Chains A and B, each alone.
Chain A
Amino acid sequence: MTGTRIVVGLDGSPSGERALAFAKEKARQIGDCTIMICYVIEWSPFSFQTAEENAARHLRREEEIATATTRVVDPAVAATRAEGLAAEGIVRHGDVAEILDEIAVAQGGSQIIIGRVGAKGLKERLFGGVSGRLIATASVPVTIIP
């Protein structure tokens, strides 16, 4: 693993696109830099499901990964590479803030860049949104793109 690595969180929204654009700009400035394009599917091992949902869970998981990969991550990776930059795609399940930090630590990422997600629901107001939790817990510098 040589060069700098930047972790970018995408969620298929315009703010995620802006985060990626910002990351590309950084990568160009840095030079020898790989952009890790990550899509985290929000998932908790402590949620409640029906027996029928459980039985089809493995199938759903594969579908979710395939959708995220083909619709969001692969096109983003291809577009980034087309601009002459190094990029890798990652799709994972779990808590977004936790997983982005985990990827940064495991892959030697020097910073995390995500788009801002507006806190809308009651849950987000009470427990803080993804950006808030990431800032509070991240092991590397975090940039939030408005």
Chain B
Amino acid sequence: MSMWEILFTAGLWASVLRIATPLIFGTLGALLCERVGVLNLGIEGIMTFGAMAGWLAVFNGADLWTGLAVAAICGGLFGALHAVLTVSLGLSQHVTGLGITLFASSFSYYLFRLVVPVQGTPPTIEPFGPAFPGLAGIPGIGPVLAAQTAPTWLAIGAVLVLAWVLARTPLGLALRMTGENPHAAEAQGLDPIALRYGAVICGSALMAVGGAFLTMSAFNSFFPTMVQGRGWVCIALVVFSTWRPGRALLGALLFAFFDAYQLRLQTSLGKAVPYQLFLMMPYVLSIVALVIMSRRARVPQALMQPFRRGSR
């Protein structure tokens, strides 16, 4: 199949949406944290833990939606830990986030190994199936939409909700104000600490759901290092999106398009080009996106600045 023909296959576009889903959740989560002024580098570990926790719940007999909820709650707990350390204690957000990533990922591998000892093939669960198979009848995009599972639709819904909350509600205004100038927010009678806690906890829950998509929809089993830097890609996508949910969706789709396209080129170009060059593409693209957008990015003004009452 030529490079051009690939573009017109439903398979390509169906996998674009599938690859984009964890990135959408992760990017929205990181975006929400950063909008209130907290950089959450725990994302990579939180996604790993979400992938493990959701999978483990379903493996132990819970249904898929309960599994997603378990992942979200675990993510929220790690978010609370990050908030205690960075919001209440005002510790370095970089180092704390990395510490959370190291802890959450090693903790999830440990728990996984406790429950599932080493064996030949990892055990599997029955993952999410297509949510609306009836859509296949629509000409053109029908097969693409019909192939998607429920969490993908949830991700797109989450974009709309977050975009509306941030741009159109008093809560959104309060959140954005906390990220721009927490002292001004406090002067308006808002509680910047509570707002930061809430946003970091909700954002981390979103990240964990993104991780859970990997084990509960994209694949059907968990294995260590499966998140593969997707969390860091999300952090780059937040900058690319200039901290706006709509553009985050666009960035995630664009990114997923390149990823899905390279996967297909890999199979059609065969051994002519080393496969590692294709695998490098997502990371290279993220760096390129960062460099392009950094010049005109409007960073939340209070990002990475701890807020302490009564001090400037």
Q: Do A and B bind each other?
A: no
Query: B: which residues have CB within 8 A of A?
Result: none
Task: State the A residues within 8 Å of B (CB).
Answer: none
